[in-house]
Amino acid sequence: MTKLHRKTALVTGGSSGLGLAIATRFIAEGAFVYITGRRQAELERAVAALGSQAASIQADVSLPGDIERVVETIRRERGAIDILVANAGIVLPQTLEQATQANYDRTFDINVKGLYFTISKALGLLRSGSSVILVSSIAANKGVPGYGTYSASKAAIRSLSRTWTAELVERGIRINTLSPGPFDTPIMDSQADTPEGAEAVKRQWAAAVPMKRLGQPEELAAAALFLASDESSYVAGIDLIVDGGAAAV
C-alpha cells in the first residue's frame, strides 16, 4: 500500500517549484492533493501535469477571504484534511539601507500572516492524526546580506511551529517545520533580472553548499513525504533541514 493511501492534502503555493514537487510525490503515494496559487494559468498547467488526483483553487494567502474560500471548498468536496503543507512564500531581497514598507509588508503578509491564517482557518478540517508541515528556510538561522525581511519571516515560522506543537498535541495534530537550503526553483531564477544573472546567482549559492550543488525539488519532496506519512508518527515540533549541509558546516 502507498504511504498516503486515500489521504487528502492541501499544498499552498503548489503550482511550481517545491510545492509542485511535493504535490507530485504525494499523489504518487496515493493522496488527493489540492494546490493553491495566485496565478490561474500556472495552476491550470500544474493540474494538467498532476492528473486526476489533483485540484486547484486560485487564492492569495495574504487575503483571509481567499483562505476561507479554499477551506470551504475542501470542506464541501472532501470533508477533511489529513496533510497540510504551508508552502506559499516569496523572496524580495532588500538591504536595510534600501528598506521600504511595501517590501516589509508584502514579505510578512505572505510568509507569516498567510501561513498563520491558513493553519488557523483550516484547523476545523484537520483530523486527529493529521500532519501539518510549515515550510521555513535555513535563512531563519543565518545572516545573509539583503535577506533581512525574508530571514525574519522564516524565523517567525519556526517559532510558530513550536507553539502550535504544544497547543495542538492533545488534538492529535503534528506540526513540523521543513527548512530547505538553496534549491533549483523558479524563486531562485527570480533573484536576477536576466537568465545570465540567474545562472550567476545559482553558481554563487551552489558554491556555499558543502555538496557544491543546488538541491532538486524532488529531494525536498522526499523529506516532506516522511513528515506527512505515518513513518514520522512520533515526530513533532522538529525543524527538518534539507540543504546539502549548508547550515551545519
| Residues annotated as part of the active site | 150
Which residues, in sequence order, are CB contacts of 234 under 8 Å at separation 6+? none
| Residue-wise DSSP of 35-104 | EEES-HHHHHHHHHHH-TTEEEEE--TTSHHHHHHHHHHHHHHTS-EEEEEE-------B-STT--HHHH
Give the CB-side neighbour count of residue 74, counting CA atoms within 13 A: 33
Amino acid at site 31? A
In DSSP terms, which residues pair with 84 in a beta bridge?
10, 132
Give the CB-side neighbour count of residue 189, counting CA atoms within 13 A: 7
